[in-house]
Amino acid sequence: MAYLWCEDNKEISEWQASLAAGSRLYLDTEFMRERTFWPQLALVQVHDGVRIRLIDTTEVDGPTLLPVFQNHTLVMHACSEDLEAIATFTGQYPAAIEDTQIAAALSGEDMQWGYQKVVQMLLGVDLPKGATRTNWLKRPLSDEQLHYAEDDVKYLPEVAGILAERLDGLGRRAWWEEECARLLKQARSQVLPQDAWRNVKGAGLLQGESLAVLAALAPWRDQMARERDLPKSFVLKDAQLLDLARTNRTDRGLLADLGFHPKQIRRDGDALLALIEQARGQTPPDPLPGPPDMAQKKLAKTLRSRVAIIAEELNMKPDVLMRRRWLEALIRHPERVPEPLTGWRNDVVTQPLLELL
């Protein structure tokens, strides 16, 4: 199947208008994000069931592509990062998705299977991986990149069809729809500024005034990363945030003593010291839960054994049914069931575990 290279807005609009509303498009993206906060969409690969189009998003604009993402169900594999790239480029998340990685997991395969693995296991086709880490924004793209991009959607309709048939046979199509809707909802949700500290590695080690300082610094870092279009770690590394949160000083020499670069001190020093000063004496947020105690660990072991039995009966991997953080949350607060354990998991695994609790 030969692909079409598309870099003209009018051509894309005419093609999109010819498609039936609500039809499935089999899609993948290539984007760059190594040195930016916002993903830079470089290419969109679309299989419409007849032809493959490689759409050059360095030439085609977001408004032109938006109907492609809004008027159709997008079938993708492991698409959480693709969703963010699409939303950054067009301003909106897709309207509906079907993720074949989720479908594979619900049909009994490993939850982390990549696209190449799925194609190899289901179709016996070995796909090359050589172009994965290349520069997708540079033009012209190499033949290797173009063939890699084509392969990313060439087999997707067949893969999706096989997995959908499996799920229909198992009576799990509704599970797939629920999980995909949850993934899309999660992608659309944004971390509130007051909760940014929760994503700092090591935040669980802090409490009291140190946690109050971290809760003030983390939203500032996120805001600067967005404004400067830099990865958060380029603004402040997690370890630097923790060092600042733990300090009892607010003098300018503190930053030099902590190893901050002079340029960084000149640019951000006053703002950081002011935030630290303001945060002192503020009421800190509730700290993150500590590690499970011995009783909770023993209970978790019992519950994991039950999960393993249920998973074996369903011919599914246990971590598809239950993640560690969900289980720990359920043990701590059985009256507050984590959202992923509602829906189809409620009868399958949640209620049996609550009975044990």
Residues catalogued as catalytic: 28, 30, 82, 148, 152
Q: How far apart are CA 110 and CA 320, in angstroms?
A: 8
CA distances from 134 to 1, 27, 33, 143 (A): 24, 19, 12, 12
Cβ within 8 Å of residue 56, ≥6 positions away: 5, 6, 7, 43, 139
Residues whose CB falls within 8 Å of the CB of residue 143, separated by 6 or more in sequence, listed in order: none
Pairing of strands 40-47, 52-56: antiparallel
Tokens for 12, please give them: 């894309």
| Residue 278 CA: distances (Å) to CA of 257, 271, 292 | 21, 11, 33
| DSSP class per residue in 190-242 | ---GGGGGGGSTTGGG--HHHHHHHHHHHHHHHHHHHHHT--HHHH--HHHHH
What are the distances in angstroms from CA 242 to CA 50, 69, 79, 200, 233?
A: 53, 40, 32, 8, 13
Provide the 8-state DSSP code for 127.
P
* Type of residue at 182: R
Residue 19 burial (CB count, 10 A): 17
How far apart are the C-alpha atoms of 285 and 259, rounded to whole Å? 28
